Amino acid sequence: MTDEELVKRLRDKHCCESPNCNCDEAADRIEALTEQLEAARADAKEAEAYAEELEAKVENLTKHHANMADPRYWEGRYRDEKAKLAKAVEALRKLHHAVCGETGFAACVRLDSGLAYPWPALDEADEMTRATLAEIEGEKT
């Protein structure tokens, strides 16, 4: 017997012959519970669809983005950054030598013209480069 059939039977008062019958109240209660059940089913379907959408987003994120909780991610990043830093240090060292070294551009100009052309910015850059390279060399050990 379905809930609709039960409610119809209760409303027609065929279920009992008692003068104090509460069949209408029971039918009202069944109808209210049926509506609540249908609303809960609709909410459950909506929640299920939302959960599937979230699962798809999580799957997409794990496919296309590195897992930062994985220690290998950080080891790889540090290794990559260390390699990039080593290249940058080597390039800085070569540039510094080409500009400020004993056979660099500045030394050639100063040999030719003495100190007629003071280069305070070059001297400051030379000091900063030497200090930076020394600091980086200290960190490597």
Contact 67, 43 (CB under 8 A): no
**What count of Cα atoms within 13 Å lies in the side-chain half-sphere of residue 14?**
6
Using the 8-state DSSP alphabet, how is residue 21 labeled? -
Model pLDDT, residue 49 = 92
56-105 tens-digit pLDDT = 888 877 666 666 677 776 777 777 788 888 899 999 988 888 888 888 88
| Sequence ranges of the domains in the chain | 3-64, 71-140
**For the whole model, what pTM was predicted?**
0.41
